Structures are given as C-alpha cells and as structure tokens.
Chain A
Amino acid sequence: SQTIHQWPATLVQPVGSPLSLECTVEGTSNPNLYWYRQAAGRGLQLLFYSVGIGQISSEVPQNLSASRPQDRQFILSSKKLLLSDSGFYLCAWSVPMASGTYEQYFGPGTRLTVT
C-alpha cells in the first residue's frame, strides 16, 4: 500500500531563517506530487506541483521554492522566511485513474510558525 511521509510535523522558525520541508512517498512510482498551504481556518492553496524528477511548476509567486531530486521525494524550501509564510503545509501525491481523474492522497502536514 502507498504511504506518504512529511517532516517535521511542527516547526518554529525566526523571520529571515531558511526552511526545508520534506515529503516522501512509498509504494508507488512516478506519482504527481503537490505542495499546498493552508492558512488558519482557510482552504488549501496549491503552491507547487511536479509531474516528474526535476519538473516543478509554480502556481503562486512567493518566497518559496520546490525541488524534486528523486521520483518520490518532494522538498519545499525558502532562503529567508517571512511572517506570512506561517501556515499548515500539506504534501500530496496522485496517479491517474482509469476514469481520467487523479485521486489525491495527502500527508499528515507540517505546522510552520514564523516568529
């Protein structure tokens, strides 16, 4: 069965410090990978998605970047955090279904607080 891991689960970082959040998927090959951010009490906003190694698409201009060094590894980074980067970050994976859709499965998330 497929499993998705995210770490760390919780992170408190000062403004201006770097960031690295990691996501790995087990039990599937060549998945599409996604990073979402959820502000407090709000919906999810797609930040980045990747359809293959080294292929990253950005959905929202921002202070963050993403990389996919391996097939099942997705990393979210920042060189200098801003207060507005605080939030709950979710990684997700999907593979195409026979019906034509992609069914997404989410990781447990990372709660980031920038102080």
Chain B
Amino acid sequence: AQTVTQSQPEMSVQEAETVTLSCTYDTSESNYYLFWYKQPPSRQMILVIRQEAYKQQNATENRFSVNFQKAAKSFSLKISDSQLGDTAMYFCAIEGGTSYGKLTFGQGTILTVHP
C-alpha cells in the first residue's frame, strides 16, 4: 500500500513571496511517480507538476518547482512569486509504476495568498 502525508493543513503567504508545501510518502514500488495537483475554489483538479522517481533532477514548471529527496521520501512544492490566483488547496499524490495510473492522495494543504 502507498501512503501520502501532508503535515500542513493550512499555509498563507504574501503576494510575490515564496512558499513551500511539504509532502512525505511511503511506497514499496521501485518505480513510481509523484504529482502536485491544485484545486481552486471551483474544485476543478489541475495538474501542477510531475516528478519521475528515477530522475534525480527536480522538476520545474514556471514558478513551480519541487524538491525531491528520494532517500527521505520527501516531495515538497515551492511556489515562487506567489500570485492571488495561486490560492487553492494543493494535493500531493503518488502513482505506483504498475498501478494503471491509480493515484493515492494526501489530505491537502489550503494555501491562501494575501495581497
């Protein structure tokens, strides 16, 4: 079984500042993938960033980047130059390499960006 833990129920940040959301996971799979999804107030789930576990290089997507520490089973999300539109719930998720794409999600972190 796979588990994902997000230890920060809520976070807040000022506009234009940087914030980091934490995520730890556990899996017995040797090949797996990690994701961060964003769920704004509309509740539409949006993929933010993806990391393949076999890649050592941390993934980046514009203002979003991850710090992937495989040995520590840690996968944090850094949002730079925070914008009001980044206000949302953020979910960390894991997919085992042989699981037909099934995702296991963490409980989420509510991020509020203040003007």
Q: By DSSP majority rule, is chain A's interface helix, strand, loop, or mixed?
A: strand
Contact A42 B107 (CB under 8 A): yes
Contact A46 B47 (CB under 8 A): no
- Inter-chain contact total with CB atoms closer than 8 Å: 59
Which chain A residues border B100 with CB–CB below 8 Å?
32, 49, 51, 102
The answer for the CA separation of A102 and B90 in the assembled complex, in Å, is 19
Find A101's partner among B4, B43, B50, B108 (CB 8 Å cutoff): B50
User: Which A residues are closer than 8 A to B by beta carbons?
Assistant: 32, 34, 41-46, 49, 51, 59, 88, 90, 92, 94, 96, 99-106, 108-109
The answer for the CA separation of A104 and B43 in the assembled complex, in Å, is 15
Contact A43 B91 (CB under 8 A): yes
- 22 A–B contact pairs at CB < 8 A? A32-B101, A34-B101, A41-B108, A42-B107, A42-B108, A43-B105, A43-B108, A44-B103, A49-B102, A59-B102, A90-B45, A92-B45, A94-B101, A96-B101, A99-B52, A100-B52, A102-B95, A103-B50, A105-B47, A108-B42, A108-B43, A108-B44
